[in-house]
Structure 1
Amino acid sequence: MRIISVNVGRAVPAEWAGDVGRTAIDKKAAGGRVAVHGNGLEGDERADVAHHGHPDQAVYAYAREDHDWWQAQLGRDLHDGAFGENLTTSGADLTGALIGERWRVGTAVLEVTAPRVPCATFRGWMGEKGWVKRFTQAGRPGAYFRVIEEGELGAGDAIEVLDRPAASVTIGEAFAAYHGDQDALRRLLAYQGHGEKWDKIAERVLKS
């Protein structure tokens, strides 16, 4: 398992980017080593900090294998960083990663926190009919990470899994939990390191 591309972006105006009107979703490969801070990668900007500025969303990773699957589905090329990911991986099962799982990449330590939930900006960026529904149904959301130890990383770095908490749930199960799977959500909430975001999601899902 390794990182094949480290991607960053700067915010630019976009009519389809909702009320904010700006987005940094179009990430491009950064050269050399990139510093990892508590709020994300050096040189990476987030326009919508209200929805994407939490430390539990400091770094987003997406698998090259899933990009390739989408390329076949959409009939178009998808460069590394095309889904707004900071880390494009190879050989890593991100959908099977566990909430609370820790990776060492370069000198940084990252912890899996949540799946990516598609938003209006992602829909506008992709320009594909029914994109939010298609992305959700595909069940290949990628994973967000919080930064446990700051450091630096770069393309070619190996991914070392330091810990996989046995009592947790996978990114795929957490994605289902967000979309209404109450059993998966209860199992996620039973994991002590689940993060405050999931308590708020539970208020919505478990009421239905």
Structure 2
Amino acid sequence: MPELLAVCRVFALLPDAGTVGITAIDKRPVDGRVKARPYGLFADVQADRANHGGLDQAVYAYSQEDAEWWGEELGHEVTPGLFGENLRTRGLEVSRAVVGEQWRVGSALLEVTQPRVPCQTFARRLDSPPRWVRRFTQANRTGAYLRVVENGDLGAGDEVEVVRRPAHGVTLADWFGAYNRLDGAPDLADVAKGLLVAHDGGEVRLSDELRERAEKSLGR
């Protein structure tokens, strides 16, 4: 059964060279149980609220499997929270979750909304590895943003149960790969159409950002 290895939230706001001037990407594991609410985990915060946070990006999850892959690439351990994630999981293909998939974690119900798009703040957090944004994009190991469908509390050691997986079948990796024209990715029009049909039919509720990008991909 997939499990939650760590729950992370902001440790300190750090100075940053970007336009906001500070970043809340310094997430670190916390002990005990943490409340999950519509805008994220209790006592967590986002500095750049124009691009992070909100109802559709309330919580960010990353898998231990992807973190270990990056550890080999970077030559050092990717500890829980280093990528700015709130949840570090094991045994779950987070980056290949189906859009709209729902997870029961503790007493909270979370829903996969969209992949993480890398930025220069993320690169600076890792001390600017060469071409980091491009490398992260090409690896297509994005992790998952989640919305909180049902409030609850969660903690390290909780099982992560996939309680719903939409039939449309489009994964975060499908969408991110197609949108960024990555080698081996499915056709962008097919992926965008699949997501919009599922959204219009009520099977899923796409985030505003993903829906707008899908519509633009189809020339709507």
Above 0.5 in TM-score? yes
Report the secondary structure of 2:95's partner residue: coil
Give the corresponding residue for 1:75. Answer: 75
Alpha-carbon distance in 2 for matches of 1:20, 1:53: 15
Alpha-carbon distance in 1 for matches of 2:54, 2:33: 24
Give the corresponding residue for 2:139. Answer: 138
Match runs of 1:127-206 below 5 Å = 127-180=128-181, 181-192=188-199, 193=204, 194-206=206-218
Alpha-carbon distance in 1 for matches of 2:193, 2:178: 8
Q: Compute the displacement of 1:125 (Å).
A: 1.1
Residue type matched to 1:44 in 2? Answer: D
Alpha-carbon distance in 2 for matches of 1:53, 1:11: 17
Residues 49 and 10 (structure 1), Cα distance of their counterparts in 2 relative to 1, 3 Å cut: farther
User: Any gaps of 5 or more consecutive residues in structure 2?
Assistant: 182-187
Give the corresponding residue for 2:185. Answer: none
Give the corresponding residue for 1:56. Answer: 56
> Are the counterparts in 1 of residues 192 and 215 from structure 2 also a CA contact under 8 Å?
no
CA RMSD of aligned residues (A): 1.4
TM-score by length of 2: 0.89
> Are the counterparts in 2 of residues 6 and 86 from structure 1 also a CA contact under 8 Å?
yes
> Are the counterparts in 2 of residues 189 and 198 from structure 1 also a CA contact under 8 Å?
no
Spell out, residue by residue over 1:164-203, the C-alpha distance to the aligned partner (whole angstroms, 9 max, x if none).
Answer: 0112411111212432533222222221122322232135
Alpha-carbon distance in 2 for matches of 1:117, 1:167: 22
Give the corresponding residue for 1:22. Answer: 22
Give the corresponding residue for 1:115. Answer: 115
Report the secondary structure of 2:73's partner residue: helix
Give the corresponding residue for 1:12. Answer: 13
Q: Compute the displacement of 1:156 (Å).
A: 0.3
> Are the counterparts in 1 of residues 16 and 121 from structure 2 also a CA contact under 8 Å?
no
User: Any gaps of 5 or more consecutive residues in structure 1?
Assistant: none
Residue type matched to 1:163 in 2? Answer: R
TM-score by length of 1: 0.94
> Are the counterparts in 1 of residues 14 and 26 from structure 2 also a CA contact under 8 Å?
no
Q: How many residues align?
A: 206
> Are the counterparts in 1 of residues 16 and 23 from structure 2 also a CA contact under 8 Å?
no
Spell out, residue by residue over 1:70-121, the C-alpha distance to the aligned partner (whole angstroms, 9 max, x if none).
Answer: 0101111211111000000000011221111111000000000001110121
Identity %: 47
Residue type matched to 1:62 in 2? Answer: Y
Residue type matched to 2:130 in 1? Answer: K
Alpha-carbon distance in 2 for matches of 1:45, 1:10: 10
Spell out, residue by residue over 1:15-73, the C-alpha distance to the aligned partner (whole angstroms, 9 max, x if none).
Answer: 33x11011111210011000101100011110011111221100000001111110101
